[in-house]
């Protein structure tokens, strides 16, 4: 089992939106960074843990716990001409972009970016590293356990 931090802009999909979706599941669409895509396509497995992170908002931070509930499959939006995630180089026979489905486990209190930065035990968390802008990052099992305990 692996663990991931996955960023979502709450104006697009928030933890509350996820709680209200059918089956409390969402396809993690729109990833257009090759490294983040490769994490989904090549490494994510059903049952992997997810820290659902609100980004690009007034108070960014971890807003809930989720899990990967499907293996990677082609992101349908890459094929819709005129859509902001359309990719003219992608074809159904040779898709470039993938996503997984993520299912809510539970909403938590917000563990803010500020609080994470002030917590020495989380110093190695990739989201806290200078220059990191990836929307999906792996989380060390020790950091996962520490965060879960902090969110109890």
Query: Is the confidence at residue 131, as pLDDT, over 90?
Result: no
Q: What was the pLDDT predicted at 49?
A: 98
pLDDT digits (tens, 9 = 90+) for 72-92: 999 999 999 999 999 999 999
**pLDDT band at residue 133, thresholds of 50, 70 and 90?**
confident
Query: Is the confidence at residue 51, as pLDDT, over 90?
Result: yes
Q: Is residue 139 within 8 Å of 4, Cβ to Cβ?
A: yes
Strand partners, 138: 4
pLDDT digits (tens, 9 = 90+) for 18-39: 999 999 999 999 999 999 999 9
List domains and CATH numbers for the chain. 3-150 (3.10.590.10)
Rounded CA-CA distance 84/78 in Å is: 9
Query: Residues of the chain with pLDDT > 90: what percent?
Result: 97
Q: What was the pLDDT predicted at 132?
A: 87
Question: Cα dist. 22→6, 13, 34 in Å?
Answer: 20, 14, 29
**pLDDT band at residue 108, thresholds of 50, 70 and 90?**
very high
Rounded CA-CA distance 16/133 in Å is: 24
pTM of the complete model? 0.96
């Amino acid at each position: 089992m692996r663990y991931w931090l996955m960023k979502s802009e709450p104006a697009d999909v928030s933890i509350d939106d996820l709680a209200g979706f059918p089956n409390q599941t969402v396809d993690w669409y729109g990833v257009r960074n090759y490294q983040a895509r490769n994490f989904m396509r090549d490494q994510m497995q059903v049952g992997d843990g997810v820290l659902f992170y609100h980004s690009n908002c007034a108070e960014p931070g971890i807003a809930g716990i989720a899990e990967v509930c499907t293996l990677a499959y082609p992101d349908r939006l890459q094929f819709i001409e005129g859509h902001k995630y359309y990719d003219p180089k992608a074809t159904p026979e040779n898709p470039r972009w993938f996503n997984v489905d993520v299912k809510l486990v539970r909403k938590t209190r917000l563990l803010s970016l500020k609080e994470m930065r002030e917590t020495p035990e989380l110093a190695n968390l990739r989201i806290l590293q200078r220059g990191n802008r990836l929307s999906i990052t792996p989380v060390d099992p020790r950091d996962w356990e520490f965060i879960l305990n902090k969110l109890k």
